[in-house]
A and B are shown apart, each in its own frame.
Chain A
Amino acid sequence: MPKVQQFECTIKTGKVGTDCDVVMVFNGHPLPFDAPSGGTASGETFTGSFAPMSVAHSISIVGPTSGEWQIDEIAVTYHLDIGEPYSARFGPIGLDITNQVNIWAEPPRPTFDV
């Protein structure tokens, strides 16, 4: 299975922002983003990256430890150790203390005309 060398994540916050830290979970382990920038107040955009250099079974963004967080869009670009980088975009989702949102998308399956 291919390894994720690095991924970059952009989160656009909707009408309800959060003061809580942005925590990413890679294969069940809560981890900080490298080089975070931006914010998660209403209307703000947060960006961060991470270089796991590992096979990804799951990647998620954890809901806030208090209150709610309304996300308008999450965009992730994945760089694997094989193949070209690819991106996935996810639409609106509401997070709170009970949940986490998946941001892992497997690489597109190769298709070819025959």
Chain B
Amino acid sequence: MVIGLRKRIRRLLDRMDGERERVSTAPFSIQADDAPPPPKAPEPLPAAESKTTDPSAISAEGVSEREVVQAPRLVDASENAPEEDDGSIRIKAEVSKAGDECRFLTNRTILEGFSWWYEEAQDAVDSALPASLFEVDGVESVLVDDSTVVVTRAGDRFADWRPMAAQVGQLIREQLASDATLIGQSVLDSLPDPAEVETTVQQVIETEINPGVAAHSGFITLTHIRGNSVTISMGGGCQGCSAADVTLRQGIHKSFRDAMPSIGAIYDETDHAAGLNPYFT
């Protein structure tokens, strides 16, 4: 029965073929009960909505001449939500990008508004907190900055920090909970006037550091002083330079501390990713 119906439809279509152009151009269809519906004509493709991303209009040379701007980083409110203060001592460890130091962020003020760098154990004879940390095997130097303790270690910078961090964290917690003199009086008596720090640092930058890094088309700028903590930024050939960290630690740190031993933390806030012409890539 189905076959017969299809033959009749075929004959009907053949007969109508000749009349289609003469009689009408209107669409028509004949559909058997069990025949599949004819395919619908495809919808016309929508006009291209997608943005093109052809880079040919911009050369690599053209890109390098453009300034790299930084949009403000957006952070979800939940990421900065303060932890509930139940009176307990909280310590969070954060390993540096280079892997040679670990920051221990506490919820207790240790040296309010100032910082102090303990280069070796004998610097910490009357400061219980850093003195205890120097007893941990591998601890090279200790920096205390307000509520943060930064520990530098010797040896393999890629080794797992967790075992040593757990040890250091436990000692910091014990010291914070004790009545010990965390930072010695000799340190407190040596804290400099911030204005004096600014004058000295600026002078060192202008007379010693910038003439040196100028050979690599670089320059250093003093951006901020907080207590005796110094923040600098690097520009020109220093910005994005693969040797910038060496310049910072072996050049800038040394020059600043030679000029004023009571300088505490030294931070580099350079956006090295935005460097257009680094001396070493």
Contact = CB atoms under 8 A, between A and B. Distances in A.
Given A36-B53, A114-B93, A93 B169 contact: no
Interface stretch (B18-26, B68-76, B222-230): B68-76
If over half of A's interface residues share one DSSP class (helix, strand or loop), that class is named, otherwise mixed; here it is strand
Contacts of A114: 91-93, 104, 165-166, 168-170
Interface stretch (B6-14, B59-67, B179-187): B59-67
A40 B49 CA distance: 10
A8 interface: no
Nearest to A22: B53
Contact of B68 (A29, A92, A99): A99
A92 B69 CA distance: 11
B43 to A, nearest CB: 19
B55 A32 contact: yes
Contact of A25 (B51, B52, B63, B95): B63
A88 B73 CA distance: 7
A60 B168 CA distance: 40
Nearest to B75: A89
Given A23-B57, A58-B274, A102-B274, A93 B51 contact: no
A83 interface: no
Given A31-B55, A62-B58, A109 B94 contact: yes
B54 interface: yes
Contact of B51 (A39, A74, A104, A109): A39
A53 B33 CA distance: 57
Interface in B93-144: 93-97, 104
B69 A111 contact: no
A21 B54 contact: yes
A109 B58 contact: no
A24 B63 CA distance: 10
Contacts of A22: 51-53
Q: Which of B51, B63, B91, B104 has the most CB of A within 10 A?
A: B51
Interface string A89-103: 111110100111110
Contacts of A73: 74
A65 interface: yes
A102 B271 CA distance: 10
B149 to A, nearest CB: 11
A93 B74 CA distance: 12
Q: Which of A23, A33, A63, A73 has the most CB of B within 10 A?
A: A23
B50 A90 contact: no
B81 to A, nearest CB: 15
A62 B95 contact: no
Interface of B: 49-55, 57-60, 63-64, 66-75, 90-97, 104, 162, 165-166, 168-170, 240, 271, 273-274, 281
Given A32-B55, A101-B68, 20 more contacts: A20-B57, A21-B57, A22-B53, A23-B58, A24-B55, A32-B54, A37-B51, A38-B51, A57-B240, A58-B274, A62-B63, A65-B57, A91-B73, A92-B71, A98-B66, A101-B69, A101-B71, A105-B73, A112-B93, A114-B91
Interface of A: 20-25, 28-33, 36-40, 46, 48, 57-58, 60, 62-63, 65, 71, 73-74, 88-93, 95, 98-102, 104-106, 109-114
